[in-house]
């Protein structure tokens, strides 16, 4: 018997309490050694006026146990409530989201009988950093942040996961033909880190065609690693085409803590009726057992679950008269899994989990020599003719900086713009050092001169070279 491992459990809202009770019963019957601390999160906490949906005492438990098994919660309608998932992920630094999407043909209906894909999604960065601005009356902006250490962590995690789980291939999806700097960094790190794993096959797809291939022939993929936004969208697509979002669990892994859950929500209309399928949460709990090193218990639960599915004992959501044998409720489904502990599936593939190991997920920062060469000043101006704006702005030239280019929505409109180019009221005005390098004092005093012309400055970005490589993109048409 393993030593009891403390974990924090939240029973959640809607169908949450029922599927959590079923899950915990199965874990206990399989001999999982858990010391459970229960916390309250979700609707009741939100409705008490706590906009985060979680009490300070719950954080203490999470910090102590570092392992969180979470049932789905209901986020109340209306503004002001913060997403508990996003808060938990960010507060605990859960950088990796791991979602196995497996089909259980012929027992669960799917067009992809041989699908077995694990989506490893970066969880903290990209457009999900939540840094947005309204720059002008007509222009809003969301920053897409891709960092070197953040990307390195998720890519290393994907390769380590693949190796530990006897996977053969790791695929990377990005859109680096368009976002050469951000997605380009992610792709470059994938190639560099991939070289440390000669035993694994590696490939990269542009996300659009990669997603199309994944939806069409998912059996050609194995582990797929992606930045946050693509991963968010494509992990739902993958779970859905595998058969049902109701069957997938997910792990959110950080350096200091981890959270395990079903991918579906609290299904309030099904609550309290002993109808819900506990499988998503149970498979999330299997990932948790592997994480805490109880690999034998994890395999015991997982194989008993596979045998139950194979025996045609199904909840209403996956019940199909031609393959199912018995339609059961949440409790009866849990009883059926418990009755099969120690058994393995015969047609579906049985699972086996290896004990721990793996290399630590290292990451590092780049040191580079930065040289300032100019500044992009974003001004709000309600005119239409870029040459008129340029005449005004050129009055701000001086002290070694001169207007080089104006772009609007990323497209060069001055010098030599096209009259057909559609423009809005926020203009990027690029000033470059006439002799190359400039100082911050020069760019700051330029800002003063632009403001002195009566123009409204929305923001500025410094233009830098890092070890001689430009740290800024050219405008389209520049």
Does residue 246 belong to the site contacting ligand NAD (CB under 6 A)? yes
Q: Which range, of 270-278, 340-348, 353-361, 378-386, touches ligand NAD by CB under 6 A?
A: 270-278
Q: How far is the CB of 114 from ligand NAD (least distance, A)?
A: 25
* Number of residues engaging ligand NAD in binding (CB under 6 A): 20
Q: How far is the CB of 366 from ligand NAD (least distance, A)?
A: 35
Q: How far is the CB of 302 from ligand NAD (least distance, A)?
A: 17
Does residue 236 belong to the site contacting ligand NAD (CB under 6 A)? no
Contact pick of 34, 170, 276, 334 for ligand NAD (by CB under 6 A): 276
Does residue 242 belong to the site contacting ligand NAD (CB under 6 A)? no
Does residue 266 belong to the site contacting ligand NAD (CB under 6 A)? yes
Does residue 308 belong to the site contacting ligand NAD (CB under 6 A)? no
Does residue 94 belong to the site contacting ligand NAD (CB under 6 A)? no
Q: Which range, of 260-268, 303-311, 388-396, 433-441, touches ligand NAD by CB under 6 A?
A: 260-268
Does residue 11 belong to the site contacting ligand NAD (CB under 6 A)? no
Contact pick of 30, 73, 118, 463 for ligand NAD (by CB under 6 A): 73
Q: How far is the CB of 51 from ligand NAD (least distance, A)?
A: 15
Does residue 317 belong to the site contacting ligand NAD (CB under 6 A)? yes
Does residue 329 belong to the site contacting ligand NAD (CB under 6 A)? no
DSSP 8-state assignment for residue 470: E
Footprint of ligand NAD (CB under 6 A):
15, 19, 72-75, 85, 246, 261, 264-270, 276-277, 280, 317
């Amino acid at each position: 018997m393993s030593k009891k491992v403390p974990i924090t459990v939240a029973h959640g809202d809607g169908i949450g309490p029922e599927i959590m009770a079923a899950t915990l019963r199965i874990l206990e019957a399989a001999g999982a050694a858990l010391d459970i601390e229960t916390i309250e999160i979700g609707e009741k906490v939100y409705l008490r006026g706590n906009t985060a949906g979680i009490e300070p005492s719950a954080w203490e438990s999470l910090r102590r146990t570092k392992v969180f098994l979470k049932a789905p919660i209901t986020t109340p309608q209306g503004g002001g409530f913060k997403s508990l998932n996003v808060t938990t992920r960010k507060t605990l630094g859960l950088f990796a989201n791991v979602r196995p999407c497996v089909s259980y043909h012929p027992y669960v209906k799917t067009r992809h009988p041989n699908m077995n894909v694990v989506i490893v999604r970066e969880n903290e960065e990209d457009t999900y950093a939540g840094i947005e601005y309204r720059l002008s009356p007509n222009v809003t902006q969301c920053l897409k942040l891709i960092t070197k250490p953040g990307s390195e962590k998720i890519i290393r995690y994907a390769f380590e996961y693949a190796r530990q789980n006897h996977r053969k291939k790791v695929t990377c999806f990005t859109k680096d033909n368009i976002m050469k700097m951000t997605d380009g960094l992610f792709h470059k790190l994938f190639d560099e880190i991939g070289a440390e794993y000669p035993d694994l096959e590696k490939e990269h797809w542009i996300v659009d065609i990669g997603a199309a291939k994944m939806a069409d022939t998912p059996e050609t993929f194995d582990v797929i690693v992606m930045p946050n936004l693509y991963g968010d969208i494509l992990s739902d697509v993958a779970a859905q085409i595998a058969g049902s979002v109701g069957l997938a669990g997910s792990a959110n892994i950080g350096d200091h803590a981890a959270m395990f859950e079903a991918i579906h929500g609290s299904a309030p209309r099904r609550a309290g009726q002993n109808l819900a399928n506990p499988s998503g949460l149970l498979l999330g709990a299997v990932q948790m057992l592997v994480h805490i090193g109880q690999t034998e218990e994890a395999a015991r639960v997982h194989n008993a679950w596979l045998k139950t599915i194979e025996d045609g004992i199904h909840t209403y959501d996956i019940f199909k008269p031609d393959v199912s044998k018995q339609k059961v409720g949440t409790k009866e489904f849990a009883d059926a899994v418990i009755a099969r502990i120690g058994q393995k599936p015969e047609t579906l593939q049985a699972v086996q989990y290896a004990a721990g190991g793996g290399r630590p997920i290292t990451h590092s920062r780049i040191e580079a020599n930065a040289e300032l060469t100019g500044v992009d000043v974003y001004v709000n101006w309600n005119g239409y003719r870029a040459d008129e704006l340029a005449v005004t702005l050129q009055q701000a030239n001086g002290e070694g900086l001169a207007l080089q280019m104006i772009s609007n929505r990323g497209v060069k409109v001055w010098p030599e713009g096209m009259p057909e180019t559609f423009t809005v009221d926020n203009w990027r005005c690029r000033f470059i050092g006439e002799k190359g390098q400039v100082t911050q004092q020069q760019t700051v005093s330029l800002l003063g001169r632009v403001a002195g012309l009566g123009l409204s400055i929305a923001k500025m970005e410094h233009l830098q070279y890092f070890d001689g490589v430009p740290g800024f993109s050219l405008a389209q048409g520049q």
